[in-house]
A and B are shown apart, each in its own frame.
Chain A
Amino acid sequence: MNNKENLKSIVLWWLGTFVALLLIIFNTIFYELLKHSFYNRVYNSLLIIANDVKDKVVFSQKHVLIIPQKLSYPISPVMIGVFSASNMKLLAKTVTFLDINLYPYLKSNENFFIIKSKKYDKLAIYIVKIQSPIQAYIVVATPMYKIDMRLQDILIKMLLLNPILLLLLLIGANVIIDRILNPIKEIVKVASKVNVGELDVTIPLPPQKDEIYELVLAFNTMIARLKDGIEMIEQFNSDVSHELKTPLTVLKGELEIALRKPRNEEYYKKTIQIALKEVNYLIELVEQMLFFTKLEDEANKKEYVYLDDILLDVLDKLSIKAQNKHINIVKIENIQLYINPVLLKTIFINIIDNAIKYTPDGKSIYIYLYRDGDKVVFKVVDEGIGIDKEELHKITTRFYRSEQSRSRQIKGFGLGLSIVKKALDILGADIEFHSDKLTEVKVLFRFTRDKL
């Protein structure tokens, strides 16, 4: 919950800061441009007035310089003064013209200035030189207070409006973020409900196929996969506990019965033998289960091995078990592969051991190892009890034992072929089962020549 709130405030904080900075920059530029444009207007007006006055300055009959007093100008008030070019003395002026020291400005090459004045605070002046009727400077001035007031007015409005704008933006953003986050809130609500026992939940898909839709879809498939996984684990647990409970039942029962009454030595000995047998069975079961989990670690340990060497080695080890059965090596080729030897050995041992287990005494097992195109084929055919067609697809399931093998009281956990399947998956090899009169197990190792 806290993190989600944080996400929203982080977004709002960054958005707010960014927009505020943007507004400051934009408004500063805008204000400066506005000011420039206003001053430009003043400059243009003064230029026009100055040029207008320039033509209208004349000497009166009394040899007095006359400037037009009441001209209509685009700006007001306008003050005009004429200074002698030789001694900088004021020759004529309009009534409102101020007595300011203009000497430095008159000497300058520039002709437009903004100067300070006591009465008007700020004055814009424009200076133009005339040659007739005498050599003089005409100074046209206008106070800036009107423009400055307007600029100040605009500035105040900007300072007032901008925070409101920012606030409105943040409120809007808040609403939008909430809208975006709402489906996420829904996901969080469902996700927090998801538990091992409660995997039947799904989040309703939003109408638009946007990122949220994809998130919901991914989330729903994740729940579905979790459910499958947990069901598999539950099945496995139930299988394991069943496999563990059977020997434990025998152990507990035998020991309790032995303790119920005084017994002779022979009875105790027999009970201990039974108990030991069950304990060994339990040990073997636990070891096979551990081995199952260890298979994964082997995946990356590859080396160049001769398959025929490993196969012969395995057959040698299994020969004691196969004493009363005939093992025929029909075809064995010299084949080298870049493969994990432990997994390979596991596959060979389990498939051959299975064939030995389910083949009655006196019957035969046939073994093949050969190249077929770009594949290596390892094939075991036996004259054993076979597998029903309907059961073929189930035999690599952990703890699965065919009805045939159960009813014939053949000891086993049903882990062998599932270990093989897992090892084959890791190696990327295929397995095929055929059961007709003979049972055939065919393993196909793919290999590419460049690896050799």
Chain B
Amino acid sequence: MKLLIVEDDAAIVSMLKKGLEEEGFVVDVAKDAEEAEYLLDVNKYDIMILDWMLPNKSGIEFLRQIRGKGDYTPVLLLTAKSSTTNKVDGLNAGADDYLTKPFSFDELLARLNAIYRRSKLQGHNKIIIDNILIDLDSKTVKKDNQLVELTAKEYELLEFLAINRGHIVSNEMIQQQLWNNEEFITSNVIQVIVYRLRNKLSKQLIKSKRNLGYFIE
């Protein structure tokens, strides 16, 4: 899952990035609305974690602005403002969820997963392809009811392909989804991951289309 964190406090950013990356999230960071706008233009994010109080342009203003432009990236508003009025204002501005600081990290993870389920899988938390079961909440994969050990990147790629089942996913899309803005990958990393997934799960699961990308039928 690829996240964009828009937050001006360096200590909070560092904590969130560290914790979320450890959980297998791919995290990009923007210090203000301007930077976030640029990143939203060039990348696609599964969820944006947005702080309310930002320098120059407030998070809520920014949210209204992107919703007005037709950007429907799911947004989790993360803020110190905790009154009901604030929550109502935040959700009405276009936020999908609202979490007040200080928050429990487990709750943040659960909410991110819930938003993801709602936006990608109409609320389901499991994807079944033939004899393979992907559990999106626990981020585990079972083949014939047997747990299959996958690395974070392997799981991310499998989930990405499963969610986009029936559609070809290009190398660029995979690169954007699995790595953050500051990382550069060597050309055959994706190929290696696909090779490993085929070995661990099934040779027939992931199909290649030369020069176009990969897909699951």
Interface segment out of the listed B16-24, B59-67, B87-95: B16-24
Q: Are B104 and A256 in contact (CB under 8 A)?
A: yes
A248, B102: Cβ atoms closer than 8 Å = yes
User: How distant is the Cα of A274 from the Cα of B55 in the complex, in angstroms?
Assistant: 24
Q: In the complex, what's the smallest C-beta–C-beta distance from A187 to chain B, in angstroms?
A: 31
B101 and A245: CB pair below 8 A?
yes
Chain A residues closer than 8 Å to B102, beta-carbon distance: 245, 248-249, 251-253
Contact with B along A249-279 (1 / 0, CB 8 A): 1111110110011000000000000100110
Taking the complex as formed, is B195 at the interface, i.e. its CB lies under 8 A from any CB of chain A?
A: no
Q: Digit string of A6-21 for contact with B (CB within 8 Å is 1, else 0)?
A: 0000000000000000
Please indicate the chain B residues that have their CB under 8 angstroms from the CB of A247 in the complex. Answer: 11
Shortest CB distance A231–B (Å): 14
Q: How far is the CA of A247 from the CA of B101 in the complex (A)?
A: 10
Chain B interface category by residue count: 20 to 34
- Which of A241, A254, A274 neighbours the largest number of chain B CB atoms within 10 Å of its CB? A254
Cβ distance A408 to chain B, nearest Cβ, rounded Å: 9
Q: Check: B32 CB closer than 8 A to any chain A CB.
A: yes
Contact of B80 with A253 in the complex, beta carbons under 8 Å: no
Which residues of chain A are within 8 angstroms of B105 by Cβ–Cβ distance? 252-253, 256-257, 260
Select B18's contact among A257, A277, A406, beta carbons within 8 Å: A257
CB neighbours of A52 from chain B (8 A): none
Q: Which residue of B lies closest to A281 (CB)?
A: B11
For the complex, is B137 an interface residue (Cβ under 8 Å from A)? Answer: no
Q: Evaluate contact between A407 and B19: CB separation under 8 angstroms.
A: no
- Give the shortest distance, in Å, between B51 (CB) and chain A (any CB): 10
Q: Which chain B residues (99-118) contact chain A, with CB distance < 8 Å?
A: 101-106
- In whole angstroms, how far apart are the Cα atoms of A260 and B81 in the complex? 27
Complex A-B: 10 CB contacts under 8 Å: A238-B81, A242-B81, A246-B80, A250-B15, A252-B104, A253-B103, A253-B105, A257-B15, A260-B105, A407-B31
Closest 4 CB pairs of A and B: A245-B80, A257-B19, A249-B102, A249-B101
Q: Which residues of B contact A (CB under 8 A)?
A: 8-12, 15-16, 18-19, 22, 31-32, 53, 55-56, 80-82, 101-106
By a beta-carbon cutoff of 8 Å, the part of chain A in contact with chain B is 238, 241-242, 245-254, 256-257, 260-261, 274, 277-278, 403, 406-407, 409
